[in-house]
Amino acid sequence: MSKDTKIKDTKRILTGLNSEKESQLFYNVGSEACIPLSRESIRYYADEACLEACQLLYDLNIQTLFSGANVDGEENAKGMAFIGISYDTLSDENKKVVSSLIENRIIKKIDNNTGRGEGNTISLSVPISSDDLVGVVSDKLNSIASQFVQQDVLYGRTTEKNIRKCYYKKENGNFFDYWTFGELTPQELEERIAEEVSQYYPDDNGNLFFTEDLLNKHLAYEIKKKKQK
């Protein structure tokens, strides 16, 4: 479809329906908080009017959690086009951008979605109606998203230290196994830690990234930052 397509003529994009196919596109499959394995994967979870803004945020290394811009073909329908962003994984500079957007009433307050496993979130949103054009809605979302600045990749990463915290020591000297709810001997724990660490993509500073794409984005940011000094 094109930017001249009406919102009512676009299809709602849903994820979590084909886990086998989507496992080749996303780190975690589901309707929310899926991490794309590449920039190209974004089009498989973002409605058409949200796509460009989601891509822009991706390029800025900002995590999008959910999005939507659809009225399911209804005539004379109204709704909202929205993109949810993880506030907790924003840089300090981008958190200042959020404060400015809230102060100027461009976006609403920060929402606490910890119960849904998303932590604190913000939503970039604009009203839509059936006959609005995709391009017009997309430009409005882009105008908000473009106020953010590029940051390091602060989501989809962990460290060996954080992994170890999941295994607490018991009185008998063994460790709680959160996978099986059993326990591990010290030697078994080291084998488990090594196994877990091997599933991530490491940088030279001990950071472990969930996907190779996230690692490469982080490294590219580091190189750019060094050139700017």
Q: Are 54 and 42 in contact (CB under 8 A)?
A: yes
Measured over the CA atoms of residue 94, residue 100, residue 101 and residue 102, the dihedral's sign is: positive
The per-residue pLDDT for 25 is 86
The per-residue pLDDT for 34 is 80
The per-residue pLDDT for 1 is 55
The per-residue pLDDT for 29 is 56
- What long-range pairs does 218-223 form, CB within 8 A, spacing at least 24? 218/61, 218/152, 218/153, 218/157, 221/61, 221/150, 221/151, 221/152, 221/153, 222/152
pTM: 0.91
Q: What is the mean pLDDT of each run of 10 residues along the chain (229 residues)?
A: 89 71 75 82 93 97 94 91 96 98 96 77 96 96 98 97 94 94 96 96 97 97 89
